[in-house]
Amino acid sequence: MHNNKNSFSNLKAIGQVFLLLLLLLNTSCEDTDIVMITGAGIDAMKAATLSDSEVRQLAKQAADLTDNSNRVASSDSPYGRRLHRLVGDHLEEDGRTFNYKVYLSPQVNAFAMADGTIRINSGLMDMTNDGELRFIIGHEMGHVVKNHIKKKMMMAYGSSALRKAIASQDNLAGDISRSIIGSFTEAIVNAQFSQQEEREADDYGLEFLTRQEYDRQAAISALRKLATLGADHSFLSSHPAPEIRANRLEDQLSGKKVESQPSFLQGVMEQLHKLWEYLRQLFFSLF
């Protein structure tokens, strides 16, 4: 029964993507590039049926691209040594293998890929102490373990399918879209997480500190430091509301009952958020 449900969900997802493509291409077919539109159809199907191995392979390619586009701290640099000191014993957690690097950038940022890639900017390391950095690393691990990144990759693949469909048209929009097909990686790195996904990643980060017998208060201080960045900071666009999240973890540590699942209204807002994120991936990144 479970497999039938998954099959139905996959067929539904494929149908939704193809419906978008059909609506988009409901014009004269004289200017359509058949090779490009075929590629769009293939990507649309992949968006709904990506396997775990395909996700890991795509994630590695995306990670290699970002590594080649940034200055990576050497293992014997102060940043490299500090990161190794903090994560050297945590290359495997919950059946996942993780790899870590530091980007030499003053921008406060961190991100994860579905293959266990975790990248930390030196600006974020400068801002946090060891305990706070451990929580942030645990939080990013949570996004991987909870398959949040896989979902973002599926959305990004759907966006790729739509861009290829537009690129199949021999016009200005096609020229523009061809130039941004390579934004797949950027879409994953900058994808915004929902409140529920943030709660799950925060809880995982806190559990990580608890399992390793680290100071759990560091989770709260880390989020409160991030809150000082301001709501319009790029890091907070993908990891929103740190002050609210800090208060929730503080209540949790003090023994107060906290919601692990959103209320009905919050659930509705979460679904609207997911719809907006999907549409944003499909359309906003085009131009």
Annotation marks residue 140 as catalytic = yes
Residues 6+ apart with CB under 8 A from 94: 145
> Which residue from 221, 262, 260, 224 is spatially nearest to 243, judged by alpha carbons?
224
Contact call for residues 41 and 18 (beta carbons, < 8 A):
yes
> Which residue from 138, 50, 62 is spatially nearest to 94, judged by alpha carbons?
138
Tally Cβ neighbours within 10 Å of residue 156: 25
Backbone angles phi, psi at 73, to 5 degrees: -65, 135
Contact call for residues 192 and 238 (beta carbons, < 8 A):
yes
Element counts in the chain: helices (H) and strands (E): 14, 5
- The CA distance from 8 to 29, in Å, is 31
> Which residue from 158, 184, 192 is spatially nearest to 270, judged by alpha carbons?
192
- Exactly one of 54, 92, 93, 140 is catalytic; which is it? 140
Residues 6+ apart with CB under 8 A from 265: none
Strand 117-121, strand 99-103: pairing:
parallel
- Count how many residues are written for the chain: 287
Contact call for residues 165 and 40 (beta carbons, < 8 A):
yes
Catalytic residue annotation = 140
